[in-house]
Amino acid sequence: MVKTVSVADYIIERLATEGINHCFGVAGDYVFPICDAVDSSAKVKWIGCANELNASYAADGYARIRGAAMLVTTYGVGELSALNGVMGAKAERSLVFHVVGMPSYQHQRLGKIAHHTLGHGVFGNFVDLSADAACCHAVINPENCVLEMERVIGEARRNNQPAYIAVPSDYARSPVASADVKPIAPRSNEAALQKAMATITEHINNAKSVVAFPAYTILRLGLQKQAQKAIEALGCPFTTTLMEKCVIDEGHPQFAGMYDGALSDSKTREIVEGADLVLDLGGVNLNDMNTAAYSARLDLSRFITVGLDDVRIGDEVIAGVRLADVLSELAKLNPSSSPYRATPQGLARLTGSPSDKITMAALYPRYAAFLRAGDTVVLETGSTSLGLTPTILPDGVRVEVQVLWGSIGWATPAAFGIALADPGKRTVLITGEGSHQLTANDVGAMGRFGANVIVFVLNNGGYLVERVLEENPNWTYNDLAPWNYTELPKALGCADWYTARVTTLGELDAAMKAARASKTGAYIEIIGGKMDMPPALAFAHGRLKAMYGDTP
């Protein structure tokens, strides 16, 4: 007898073959069949989060390491709470499969008045909202399940963006109908690839100076090694914005420094802004945050942009060309006889004496000294991400940051998802206390699921970045409830974590040492000055009109 497989089991097992072994989410009655399928799966483990927003951030973090993640929420109330995180994954090109359990098709058909609805017998209205946060979506039934899963997986892979999969609860428990369909792997059109390579090499040969700009999408697609090989074959300098921090080691001899508009080193600025040809590998996103408040001077007509799925040269678009294929073609070029060579800057010197209060100038180099190869550091939006990113970090450190979407609270659950995605590496979370207050409850999930994150919480008495982005730093809406941060791990079930509250450099150095030695998670609250800001923020304060536009 042929064993029947339910729609729910099929979906979970199919997503497991995409390299997903954990499912982040919050249970609910309409999604019970999906939750049951996860709980009974030998391949996928249920990772319950404190709320759906946290789960969406955790899934985003996981997807950045694994290439894809699974998020499961219930109809309406659950999926809508996850939307900010899923939309952020869409903006930042992180592939989250958002699986949502709907009321049964039988009840939908009869227009029943049901909980988690607006009470008027209409059921399709939330599908449109969740679908907007994805690049593709499907409403599953037993007949279309196999086919639709291949379509959305293929499309999500092509764009590296979320897919929304809605499953009515009765259909979820029904046997899936088989269908003869093969997975769709995104690949280049051979002729288009050849045409793109001919044009790219012609531009390279004609350019007096070339600079490569490996984009954040290289990280999302796990193409760091391929990008490095391509850049080594090109022999040209490369730069990154803070979105791509450490995508290739900063100690690499071809690294020309971080590009951040007017805040870049003058040498970096000269190399990037003066280049005849900017080879944008992956589609850099030049937003206000990573151009030092739009102070970049880049001539886009000198760009060749290799997108995920096309190549753009001026007005010409060559479609059907995959980034990975362009990188491997570039790597085959004859290596340059006189490659660009810079002297790596090395790590900044540590300053201050043990009894000194903790200043940002003394703190950032200490993070650099603390981090080591194999660490993944997760940076939160706020003064931290703007302050730490200009600091050179050791080779082999991976950085994850949500610069474009910039939703505060992201980093805490993202660090959790990242830690589960690769438990062999140490995950280090660096967050401001204001952001942390949004999602700190999932420190509990870190303890519960053995994610031994090292957490640094900068307590500077409120929303520093907001104080600086206004003329008046003292609006009360930038103040916070004064939490006892170091008591959180214990209250949230992480009783065996190392915790410390540090006010001096000596205490900080000792706590960093203890955190590194700790076999469990660690949680360090750093007391900083209320207006002690990194140079990037002081600069932004002077450019408020450029940031936000002039008053009409």
From the list 413, 432, 447, 534, which residue makes contact with ligand TPP (rule: CB under 6 A)? 432
Among 101, 122, 127, 124, smallest CA distance to 38 is for: 101
279 binds, among ligand TPP, Mg ion, none (CB under 5 to 8 A by kind): none
Among 223, 214, 239, 205, smallest CA distance to 334 is for: 205
16, 23, 155 from 36: Cα distances, Å: 15, 12, 27
Span interacting with ligand TPP, options 179-187, 342-350, 379-387, 446-454, rule CB under 6 A = 379-387
Minimum CB distance to ligand TPP, residue 123 (Å): 29
Task: Quote the CA–CA distance of 73 and 46 in Å, as a whole number.
Answer: 12
From the list 381, 402, 427, 499, which residue makes contact with ligand TPP (rule: CB under 6 A)? 381
Q: Is 464 a residue that touches ligand TPP (CB under 6 A)?
A: yes
Minimum CB distance to Mg ion, residue 480 (Å): 7
Q: Is 394 a residue that touches ligand TPP (CB under 6 A)?
A: no
Minimum CB distance to Mg ion, residue 377 (Å): 18
Q: Is 407 a residue that touches ligand TPP (CB under 6 A)?
A: yes
Among 210, 257, 269, 218, smallest CA distance to 236 is for: 210
Number of residues that bind ligand TPP (CB under 6 A): 19
From the list 76, 78, 162, 406, which residue makes contact with ligand TPP (rule: CB under 6 A)? 406
Closest residue to Mg ion, based on beta-carbon distance: 432
Looking at residue 265, the DSSP 8-state letter turns out to be -
Structure tokens at 334: 């004859």
CB-based burial, 345-361: b 16+ in 10 Å, e otherwise: eebeeeebeeeeebebe
Query: Can you point out the beta strands (E) in 395-546?
Result: 398-401, 426-432, 454-459, 498-502, 522-527
Nearer to ligand TPP, 106 or 548 (CB): 548
Q: Is 403 a residue that touches ligand TPP (CB under 6 A)?
A: no
Which residues, other chains included, contact 67 with Cβ-Cβ below 8 Å and sequence gap of 6+? 18, 19, 95, 221, 222
285 binds, among ligand TPP, Mg ion, none (CB under 5 to 8 A by kind): none
Minimum CB distance to ligand TPP, residue 466 (Å): 5
Instruction: Using the structure block, give the residue that is written with the tokens 């203890």.
Output: 514
Instruction: Using the structure block, give the residue that is written with the tokens 């404190």.
Output: 50
Q: What is the maximum alpha-carbon separation in the chain?
A: 76
From the list 34, 87, 149, 458, which residue makes contact with ligand TPP (rule: CB under 6 A)? 458
Residue 410 pairs in a beta bridge with: none
Structure tokens at 336: 């340059």
Minimum CB distance to ligand TPP, residue 20 (Å): 26
Alpha helices in 122-215 (DSSP H): 125-132, 145-159, 169-173, 190-206
Minimum CB distance to ligand TPP, residue 410 (Å): 8
Interface residue list for Mg ion (CB under 5 A): 432-434, 460, 464
Minimum CB distance to ligand TPP, residue 537 (Å): 8
Which residues, other chains included, contact 363 with Cβ-Cβ below 8 Å and sequence gap of 6+? 387, 458, 508, 526, 528
Among 514, 92, 116, smallest CA distance to 308 is for: 92
Minimum CB distance to ligand TPP, residue 13 (Å): 35
Q: What share of the chain is helix, strand, coil (3-state, %, to 5)?
A: 40, 20, 40
Nearer to ligand TPP, 469 or 510 (CB): 469
Tell me the CB-side half-sphere exposure of residue 356, using CA atoms within 13 A. 13
36 binds, among Mg ion, ligand TPP, none (CB under 5 to 8 A by kind): none
Q: Which residues ranging from 155 to 184 are in contact with ligand TPP (CB under 6 A)?
A: none
Task: Quote the CA–CA distance of 43 and 74 in Å, as a whole number.
Answer: 22
Tell me how crowded residue 477 is: count the other CB atoms within 10 A of its CB: 8
Nearer to Mg ion, 434 or 447 (CB): 434
From the list 226, 376, 384, 402, which residue makes contact with ligand TPP (rule: CB under 6 A)? 384
Nearer to ligand TPP, 291 or 384 (CB): 384
407 binds, among ligand TPP, Mg ion, none (CB under 5 to 8 A by kind): ligand TPP
Span interacting with ligand TPP, options 30-38, 49-57, 70-78, 464-472, rule CB under 6 A = 464-472
Q: Is 352 a residue that touches ligand TPP (CB under 6 A)?
A: no
Span interacting with ligand TPP, options 4-12, 59-67, 197-205, 456-464, rule CB under 6 A = 456-464
Looking at residue 19, the DSSP 8-state letter turns out to be T
Span interacting with ligand TPP, options 21-29, 128-136, 376-384, 412-420, rule CB under 6 A = 376-384
Contacts with ligand TPP, residue ranges (CB under 6 A) = 380-384, 406-409, 432-435, 458, 460, 463-466
